Structure 1
């Protein structure tokens, strides 16, 4: 395939999103999650079903999936756990990694975003924008005030990159004290201090969080199963970046 043909194929993709609890679509999302997390993070997913990333929270979540209409392939997914469902599920997923006591004191409704991934062949701005646009629609429609979620950074280099990214995000995007959380499992500190002044490149999904207006809630947590560093981030829905919030508020009123 020539470069021109490849570009034409990408431009011809027609992507659609749906929010679902349909078992077949959830299983397809779990299969994509397994492929991405196991290959990119070398994660020990511990699933009872080979080839699937599944846990006890999936049944309580609304799953947002992005599909390529031409091929029928599921190419991106995330899941949203609303506070009402979290109460029934025994809490949020991120409570296994962070003490969320401060967040439970917030006025309004909290929801959690998790297990977000995009197929490597579809990691374009268009796919990621479509994914977050659909999340924004959900937040407005379900009157969510605060969205939380774990933002993951790979640890393949032993943690140097993770610490550099974490420190950069804390310097530029740290939330105020109302949103501070404490990791239950601190990220191991490096034997040599992080002193590299070169620009840091955060993962695309984390950059998308920050463009939406998200903030990090404190120190990173070490996730040994996924072999990554996690930062809890929070998004105040009423402070969504203007290009998202104004557009979706209009759509909901239409």
Structure 2
């Protein structure tokens, strides 16, 4: 995939500098090569590791790419002691970058009319990946903190995306989905609604009895960060055989993130 020079120049004006932690730096991708490295990492993590449905094009290129990559901001974490290799990534898509009539990636599964009507400037987060050797440490922290800085500095009103759980048997995720439904459900006004042509299930149809905190222990690290800054989820889960996942829609109001709870943003994935 080739970056349009004019578009890329506009993108890089939004955020200057980078963050660092030890051997790792995080910033926006600087060139085509770094974006392609990010796409290779996405292919390895989201398809090969997770048992997703691989296409012939992916097998040939060993990259995962789609229509949103041309308009996205690609956050990358590079290893400064390993030839600037990309070891972590997150894709950010702004509502202002979408073409007329173009939808967010998330909108192929959910109708986001409520969020679009309520918020002026939206940012979709997707394709978060960390290389196997760097999980559970500084890489994820850098992606998170850099993305929060991006949202604050560029004046986004809400961030949105999907929270996924490996496997298409949603019964395996009963505890975590029940916890999210009970504690973090979106309001009716802003509720993401499943599109009619996707396979979905109402979470309330298989709610489990509240446990004693066991379900909280199963919350993935990145999702735990979202929840600590006020995330809300959809009342339906989508069954996705392409990625071999079950997922819900998620959104966070930026006014909560950067209001009286600003300290939570910096501490949300540290423990």
* TM norm. shorter chain > 0.5: yes
- Which residue in the other structure is 1:187 paired with? 200
| Counterpart Cα distance in 2 of 1:224 and 1:183 | 16
Matched, 1:235 2:255: no
Cα deviations across residues 40-65 of structure 1 (Å, max 9, x unaligned)?
32011436243111111111100001
* RMSD between aligned residues: 2.6
- Which residue in the other structure is 2:149 paired with? 137
| Cα 1:83/1:212, change in 2 over 3 Å | same
Map residues 167-178 of structure 1 onto 2, 5 A cutoff: 167-178=178-189
- Which residue in the other structure is 1:9 paired with? none
Residues 145 and 265, structure 2, Cα contact 8 Å, conserved in 1: no
Map residues 14-33 of structure 1 onto 2, 5 A cutoff: 14-20=23-29, 22-33=31-42
| Counterpart Cα distance in 2 of 1:224 and 1:147 | 25
| Counterpart Cα distance in 2 of 1:211 and 1:127 | 19
Matched, 1:74 2:92: no
Moved over 3 A (4+): 186-190, 192-198, 244-247
Tell me, which stretches of 5 or more residues in structure 1 are unaligned?
1-11, 248-254
Map residues 1-254 of structure 1 onto 2, 5 A cutoff: 13-20=22-29, 22-46=31-55, 48-50=57-59, 51-71=62-82, 72-88=84-100, 90-155=102-167, 158-184=169-195, 185-187=198-200, 195=208, 197=211, 199-200=214-215, 201-240=218-257, 241-243=261-263
| Counterpart Cα distance in 2 of 1:211 and 1:153 | 19
Residues 178 and 207, structure 2, Cα contact 8 Å, conserved in 1: no
SS in structure 1 at match of 2:179: helix
| Counterpart Cα distance in 2 of 1:62 and 1:112 | 10
Residues 119 and 158, structure 2, Cα contact 8 Å, conserved in 1: no
| Counterpart Cα distance in 2 of 1:237 and 1:79 | 18
> How many positions carry a matched residue from both structures?
234
| Cα 1:246/1:68, change in 2 over 3 Å | closer
Cα deviations across residues 211-232 of structure 1 (Å, max 9, x unaligned)?
2332213211121210111111
Residues 179 and 234, structure 1, Cα contact 8 Å, conserved in 2: no
| Counterpart Cα distance in 2 of 1:142 and 1:218 | 30
Q: Shift of residue 245 of structure 1? A: 5.3
Q: Shift of residue 108 of structure 1? A: 2.1
